[in-house]
């Protein structure tokens, strides 16, 4: 057992160190129905698996959503695809005369997709089947 300890320490010293993932912050707007909404997308990307995780904040309403997906490299930038969910948003529980709903999220899930280039992010936010064009610029 004592002989294995120095070998284990040497192997641990040779292992690559975990590098912190840089946080990316993007801000912009989308026309949702008849109003323009301001958004902030904050995320990190695992450089090995290209897995994206972060938040999408609607700055106009103050709502915050969890975003998970991928950021895949492309020839002139990257392709972003993320499922946006309300996470722990309030749930609706209502009933009348024994009929009703229970545990229904007040906020809807969405799909965020688009292309990141040197100029910014051009894509769409699809909520309940309705697609809204989304334009973001990198802040950090």
Domains for the chain: give ranges and CATH numbers: 20-87+104-138 (2.40.128.30)
- Asked if 47 and 65 count as a contact pair (C-beta separation under 8 A), the reply is no
Considering the entire predicted model, what is its pTM? 0.74
Residue 82: both structure tokens together: 């993320």
User: What is the reported pLDDT for 22?
Assistant: 87
Q: How many residues does the chain have?
A: 140
pLDDT digits (tens, 9 = 90+) for 27-68: 999 988 889 999 999 999 999 999 999 999 999 988 899 999
pLDDT digits (tens, 9 = 90+) for 6-18: 655 555 555 555 5
CB within 8 A of 107, min separation 6: which ones?
Answer: 63, 65, 86, 89
User: What is the reported pLDDT for 121?
Assistant: 95
**Whole-number mean pLDDT of the chain?**
82
Residue 20: both structure tokens together: 């912190």
Q: Which of 43, 82, 37, 83 is nearest to 63 (CA)?
A: 37
φ and ψ at residue 12, rounded to 5 degrees: -65, -35
């Amino acid at each position: 057992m004592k002989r294995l300890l120095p070998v284990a320490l040497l192997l641990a010293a040779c292992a690559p160190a975990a590098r912190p993932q840089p946080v990316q912050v993007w801000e912009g707007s989308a026309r949702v129905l008849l109003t323009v909404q301001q958004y902030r997308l904050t995320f990190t990307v695992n450089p090995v698996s290209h897995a994206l995780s972060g938040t999408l904040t609607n700055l106009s309403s103050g709502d915050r959503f969890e975003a998970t997906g991928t950021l895949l490299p492309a020839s002139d930038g990257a392709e972003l695809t993320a499922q946006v969910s309300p996470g722990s948003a309030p749930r609706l529980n209502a009933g009348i005369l024994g009929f009703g709903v229970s545990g229904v999220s007040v906020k809807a899930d969405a799909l965020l997709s688009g292309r990141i280039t040197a100029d910014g992010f051009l894509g769409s936010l699809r909520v309940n089947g309705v697609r809204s064009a989304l334009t973001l610029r990198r802040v950090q």
